[in-house]
Structure formats: structure tokens, C-alpha cells
A and B are shown apart, each in its own frame.
Chain A
Amino acid sequence: MTSLVDQDYIKMIVFQLADKEYAIPVSNVQGIEKLMHITRVPKTLNYVKGVINLRGVVTPIIDLRERFGLPKAEYIDSTRIIICTLNNMEVGFVVDSANDVIDIPVISIENQPNVVGSAEVDFISGVAKIENRLLILLHLDKVLVSENN
């Protein structure tokens, strides 16, 4: 990620959860999948939905709505799974929809997320304002810290 900072723009995937738009760097994203059968794994945290067969690799799935403490939603046609890799971990995030890939100018990123004041505040690394949209940049490290132990 450091190499990206040198550039003027960061390429990011934008997705929707409830009424907000979030963004994660393209470099962490492996792919975006349509919803498929999720096998429940017992005795895990509530936001861990289970595992899927991602082309032969068993991949755990996290429901981001539940992770952020947002109200649950039915999985619909536009629901997507964003496959992310970080620190040798491969995890899929269930999101309402994946909208866009955009270049975010580094200067437009602000560090103080004063605007947002909910449970997900820990997971936010910054916000970016582009035209009329407010994008919330996610701190993947924190999202993936499992509180299992």
C-alpha cells in the first residue's frame, strides 16, 4: 500500500452497505463474486457466515453489516461477496452491492472521521469526498481482527 501513497490517486473498490458507501484499495481485492452457497461453520462469531468454495479454495465469509452492527438484510440479487486478501488471510465480505472502481485523489482523503458516529468507527481509516459522494475508507486490518480468542 505504501507504493500507492506516492501516487496522486488510489484505485479503490466502492461498495454499499445500508445507505453508506465504503471503499477498499483494489490491491487488497482478489475478486467480486455473486452470492453462492455458504456452509455454516458452528461455534463461530455471529458475523462469520461460514465458508464458500471459491474455485477449490475454502474461503471464510464475513457479513459486513453484522460486523459493523448494522441491521441485517435479506440477501438479494445485487448482494455481492468481495474477496479480500490481507496478511496471508483470504476472506470474503458480504456487501449489499459493489458499485464502482474509482480513482480517489490522495489529497481528498481526510483522516478525521468525525462525520460518522456509529459502531463501525474503529474500522475506518479515513473518509474521502468526491463530488457529492462521501466514501468511507475501511481499515481492513481492524475488520479482520478476530475477537474469537
Chain B
Amino acid sequence: MDMNQYLEMFIEESKEHLQSCSDNLLELEKNPEDISIVNEIFRSAHTLKGMSATMGYEDLADLTHKMENVLDAIRNHKINVDSEILDVVFESVDHLEEMIMDIADGGDGKRDVKETVEKLKAIESGQPIASQAQAIDEVAATAIEVLIEESTATPHLQYDDYEKTVLQQSSEQDYNAYEITVVLREDCLLKAARVFMVFDILEKNGDVIKSVPSADQLEEEKFDQQFQVAFITKDAADVIQKKIMKVSEVDKVIVTPLTQELFTTSATEVTQVDTPVVIETIENNTNDTKEIETKQKSSTSTKSTTHTSSSKTIRVSIERLDILMNLFEELVIDRGRLQSISTEVNHSELNETVERMSRTMGDLQNIVLTMRMVPVDTVFNRFPKMVRTLSRDLNKKINLEIIGAETELDRTVIDEIGDPLVHLIRNSLDHGIESPEIRKAKGKPEEGTVVLRAYHSGNYVFIEIEDDGAGINKDRVLKKAISRGIVTKESALTLTDKQINELILASGFSTAEVISDISGRGVGLDVVKTTIESLGGNISIESTEDVGSTFSIQLPLTLSIISVMLVEIEQEIYAIPLSSIIETAIIKKTDVLNAHNQKVIDFRGKVVPLIYLEEIFEVPRDNEIDDEYQSVVIVRKGEKLAGLVVDSFIGQQEIVLKSLGNYLTNIFAISGATILGNGKVALIVDCNALVK
């Protein structure tokens, strides 16, 4: 069978499963007691194993299998979760990721993982743990403790008022109330069918008051191996138990009588179990209650989200979206033509139709654009693991906080910002956050915090990386910059604090005394700056020594459609991005002053140099115009202003950004082109190149 058509899907899904593995592993590290998280990881690993085996990637399947064994042991309380074990599991996830990447690059997904496999095996057999028996004892002990805690704190099932009344009335009418836990066999294939058969038996012998998970979820097989029901009947407990046991593939049935206190008061104790055999049951029970509780919680909160993500989305390749975008752009251009024709013809029905079409196209544009938007989470989600590994390597304690991961950005931008962000975070961890001893000495908490924050503002998305580390030592930066010849001694005196901070983004700069392999040799940060600027973005640094630094990246929402101001010079139309325009002005020729060789104007108390676009762009002019007034567009780059002199303003417009192709590269002061409503090409002015 040709597997190629499934390959892409396989890779995508594997990535997702691995991501959920590492997410959950991190979660597990925080709550090592929570077995439901282990179950989540187990499920992802299991699916991954199945998929890779089907696709014929044996190594992948094999490693996943070993990992699964360890997880299984954890979930059955054979092993205690500790950071050593998690390290090994993380390591395997890393290996799995590498394998998937290899497959995605056309490789065979083979990789030498002997060492990790050995470690996994060792863990599975319990070797690294000093005494296995003791460990199991401990597990059992904690399990019982937990059970008692659990049972005193919360009953098995929560009942609402209506259910309580029913239970109460039934007990008054000599019905027995039970809580029944049914455990299906691990290898049970038709879980829903078994559930149905169990319910069938129950309903013949009494009434089911409540089930956890709910009947709907049971029907959809949305449960692990077991479920719980509250049941009233006239039969005795053992009779019910035997009847249910008759259903095949049922592993265990636990029937506990439900006493009045159990459902009326919230603090109740599970009937004390009297035989020693029951330890296992207790353990299971603990699991049950825990699991069911988390299920209950999650069924209300996460149900809606999982629903939408699993069934209401389809995968579309980015190329198809690009094609759609291109076709749409052509439509936009045709719409422009149609509009001008309809104004010429002035036919009322035609006008109406064109009007309506324009409106629909506006909506369509929004949809096409939002379709290309992806939450930044797709980039952010790899950072928690990275930070964890790095902080271990660096022997630092670091807590990464992610805020606004749901902020959306255009896919093309997302693809590009991953590497710059990795650089910046590594930089914060390596150079920013101090070692625990130094932090202590400075009177800061031992654990450093790095906050990764994303948010929308206007037409931009901001991504900030904030750390509470050492901050930037300005004197050291200046000294270094002077010694490296980045600035001269004289100009160094005039620099503002912000400009000094930004020196670390200059190429050939590294202040770390020890060059580590984590954040390079100062080649990183200037690459970050260029990448971000090539995306039409900006990066700035705020820093206070010993308090911390904030790297702030400003990115355009989308790279494909921008707002511009169209201007005219002689016969030629140019587009100036609205993002760099401060305002437009009409000035008298007599207001233009001469400063040295530069024409300047006094604009709101500031001296602003004038740039004649006509000269810069060598526009051929047939007849010299001699107007008393001049149209000026005031633009800015950072703090600096400049006035671009043009013939006239046409107006503001949303345009589709196009590149000039591979033949014409590096054209001075032109960043791209667009197609106007009349089908002609207009060039986009790159203000950053004009303002010096």
C-alpha cells in the first residue's frame, strides 16, 4: 500500500501527540501525584506507537513502546514519579521528536537510542530506585493515606438535590442504594456495548440514578476502563455484582452500599474495608475517585474545547491558502475595475450589484485573512521544555510564564519568529537570570522568572520577553562596544540609555565572560534584529540593572495586506506604508529653510529634513511645476522624522503586498510593489531606507 499520502498526516499528528506529551510531562512534574496526567501521556504515546508501527517506523514504535511501559508502571503505582524518571522520559520525547523531524525531512526515522532505551528499561525494572519493595510499600501507604484524605474530603459521587431526594425516598421505601464501580478489561474492544449491557442488567433490576461519566460520554466511549453508577434496587449487593460479572469483558465489579449519610452529608467515610486483600481495591478506588473527579471537572470545562478542536476543523495545506489568497487578490483588483466601470456607465442596477459585491468581498477578505492566522502558541509551546532543559544545564532555577499564547498572527510571520524567539529566551536564561547563589545574595528569590507575553495592539502584535535577572550593565556594554569599534568614544557620550541597551543587538557583540554553547557568541542577537526587521517589525530593549530586562518585539499582523497612503509624483503613483506616517502637511515654499545643504522645515517646533521623492526616484518631469505650496508626508523611523515631498496625495488604501521577484533585488528605498485598482503596478516606499 502506498503510504505516502498518509505521511503528511502522520507527521502532523505525531507532532501534536508529542507536543501534548511534553505539555503533560511538564504538568506532571508540577503535580506528580496526579495519575490522570500520566493517563493523558500514556494515551498520546499509545496512539503514536500505533501510528508509527502502521507506517513502518519500527524504531519510533519501539522507543514509544519502552516509554509506554514506564508510563504504565507509573500509572499502576509500580514506580514513583521523580525528576530522574521524568528526565529520561523527556529525553525519549526529544528522541521521538528528532525521529519525526527526520521523517518529515524525508529520512527513515532511524536513530541510535540505545542509551535511552537502557535507561527506560532500568526504570521499568525498578533498578535506579534504591529498594523496590520499599518503594511499593510507600506507594501503597500513600495510596491509603490519599484514600482516607480523599474519602473524608469528598464522597465517591456528588449528588445534586434532586438525586438526593430520590435516594432518600427510595431508602424509605426499602430500596437499597449502591454505588457500583465497573471495571472493564484492559483489552475490551466494544466498551460502549459492554456499558450498554451493564445498564441493561441494572435497569431490569432497579433504577440508575446517576452515572459518572454521564451516559452520553459512556456511549461515546469517553472513559478509560471503568465507570461508576449510583443505583437503587431491592436486590442485595452480591446479587447485583454477580449479575454484572456475567457480562463478558468485565474485569471487576465493586458494589458499595450507599448509606443515608453518604449522600446527605458531604463528609463521609467509605465503609471500612475489612480484608487485607482489599488494598488493591483501595488503590483502584483511589484511582477511580481521582480519575472520576478530574473527569467530572474536565467534562464540564474542557468538553466544549475538545469538541470543537476534534470534530470541527479540517487540515488545509498552507499552499492552498496561498493560492486562495492570490485568487482573492486578483478579485480585489477586478473589483476596482468593475467599480470604475460602473461609475462611468451609471446604471442603477449595475451600481447596486457592484455595491453588494464589494460588501461581500470585504467579508470574504476578512475570512481569507483570518484563515491564515495561527495562534502564537504554535511557536510558544516548545519553550517550556526548552527552558526546563536549559535551566538544568545552567544550574539555574527558572520559571517560565506564558501569557497570551492565544494571540493570533499571520502564518508567514509565525514561521519566521521561532528562531529569533529561541535566541532571545536563551539569551535571557544565560545572560539574564543569575545563578541561585547570586540571586540570594542580591536578595531576590532563588527562582528566576521569565515571562513570555504576546498581545495585540492596533495593527501590530507585540511579543515581550521579560526576565527578572541581572539587567544590562551599561558601562560594560559601552566599554565593549568601544573596544569592538561599534561606537566611537565621542559618540558614546551622546547615547541614551535605550541606545546603549540596543548596542547588544549590534553584530559582533558578546558580553558574557564565559562563552557558552547556549547563547552563542553574540552572532545571535544581531541575526534576531535583522530577521525581525525583515518581517517589517521592530525590537527594543528596556533594562534596569539588577532588576531585569524586557525585550519587546513589534510585528505586523499580516505581511500580505497593509494600509498605505497613495501619493502621486508627476505621472507615477507610490505607496507609503501608513505605519511609518505620522501625518501629512501642506507647507508654503517660503517656509522651507536651508541648513547647510539640507532643506528643512520647522514642524511643530522640530526641525525636520525634507526629502524630495522626485529627486530620490529620478522621476522624469516634462514641465517644471511652480506651486506656492508643497505636499509633505511626515514619516518616522524610530525617533527620527523626515518629510517626504510629493506632488499630491491620493488617499489611504488597503493594498496587497507583492514582491518585485527574484530578478530585481535590493532596489534602493523600494520595499515591494502592489497592484492598483486600474491594474497598474505601484511601488511601495521603504521609509526606513530614506530616514537616516
Contact = CB atoms under 8 A, between A and B. Distances in A.
A60 B682 contact: no
Contacts of B668: 42-43
Contacts of B670: 41-42
Contacts of B333: 53, 56
B102 interface: no
6 contacts: A39-B572, A39-B673, A39-B680, A39-B682, A41-B660, A56-B329
B274 interface: no
Interface in A30-79: 37, 39-44, 48, 50-53, 55-60
B679 interface: yes
Contacts of B618: 42-43
Given A42-B616, A43-B618, A44-B667, A58 B659 contact: yes
A56 B664 contact: no
B666 interface: yes
Contact of B326 (A43, A56, A87): A56
Given A42-B618, A58-B661, 12 more contacts: A39-B681, A41-B664, A41-B670, A42-B667, A42-B670, A43-B617, A50-B681, A51-B664, A56-B675, A59-B661, A88-B662, A90-B661
Nearest to B681: A39
Interface in B641-681: 658-670, 673, 675, 679-681
A91 interface: yes
Given A39-B572, A42-B618, A43-B667, A51 B662 contact: no
Interface in B595-631: 616-619
Interface in B563-580: 572
Given A39-B681, A42-B618, A58-B658, A53 B675 contact: yes
A146 interface: yes
Contacts of A134: none
Interface in B317-340: 326, 329-330, 333
A93 B5 CA distance: 41
The 6 closest A-B pairs by CB, nearest first: A42-B617, A39-B681, A89-B662, A58-B673, A56-B330, A58-B658
Given A56-B326, A56-B333, A56-B675, A41 B663 contact: no
B632 interface: no
B683 interface: yes
Given A41-B667, A43-B617, A58 B662 contact: no
Given A40-B572, A51-B673, A56-B675, A144 B663 contact: yes
Interface residues of B, number: 29
Contacts of A40: 572
- Centre residue among B658, B670, B681, B683 by max chain A CB count within 10 A: B681
Contact of A91 (B619, B663, B673): B663
Nearest to B333: A56
B438 to A, nearest CB: 50
A7 interface: no
Interface in A89-119: 89-91
A88 B661 CA distance: 9
Nearest to B330: A56
- Centre residue among A48, A56, A90, A144 by max chain B CB count within 10 A: A56
Interface of B: 326, 329-330, 333, 572, 616-619, 658-670, 673, 675, 679-683
B683 A53 contact: no
A56 B322 CA distance: 13
Contact of A90 (B329, B663, B666, B683): B663
Give chain B's interface secondary structure class. loop
A53 B661 CA distance: 12
Contact of A58 (B660, B666, B669): B660
Contacts of A132: none
Nearest to B664: A60
A3 interface: no
Contacts of B617: 42-43
B681 A52 contact: yes
A2 interface: no
Contacts of B679: 37, 53
Contacts of B663: 60, 89-91, 144, 146
A48 B664 contact: yes
A53 B680 contact: yes
Contacts of A57: 658, 661
Contacts of A55: 330
A88 B666 CA distance: 17
Interface string A112-149: 00000000000000000000000000000000101011
Contacts of A87: 662
Contacts of A53: 333, 675, 679-681
Nearest to A48: B664
A105 B668 CA distance: 45
A103 B329 CA distance: 38
Nearest to A149: B666
A50 B661 CA distance: 12
A53 B681 CA distance: 6
Contacts of A41: 660, 664, 667, 670, 683
Nearest to A39: B681
B572 A58 contact: no
Contacts of A51: 660-661, 664, 673, 681, 683
A37 B678 CA distance: 10
A51 B684 CA distance: 13
Nearest to B326: A56
A71 B494 CA distance: 56
Contact of A37 (B326, B658, B661, B680): B680
Contacts of B658: 57-58
Contacts of A58: 658-661, 673, 675, 681
A48 B618 CA distance: 14
A58 B663 CA distance: 11
Nearest to A55: B330
Nearest to B675: A53
A50 B572 CA distance: 12
A83 to B, nearest CB: 11
A34 to B, nearest CB: 14
A66 to B, nearest CB: 15
B672 to A, nearest CB: 8
Contacts of A42: 616-619, 667-670, 683
Contacts of B660: 41, 51, 58, 60
A89 B661 contact: yes
Contacts of B681: 37, 39, 50-53, 58
Contacts of A90: 661-663
Contacts of B675: 53, 56, 58
A60 B661 contact: yes
A43 B689 CA distance: 14
Nearest to B613: A42
A37 B663 CA distance: 19
A21 B667 CA distance: 33
A149 to B, nearest CB: 8
A127 B356 CA distance: 58
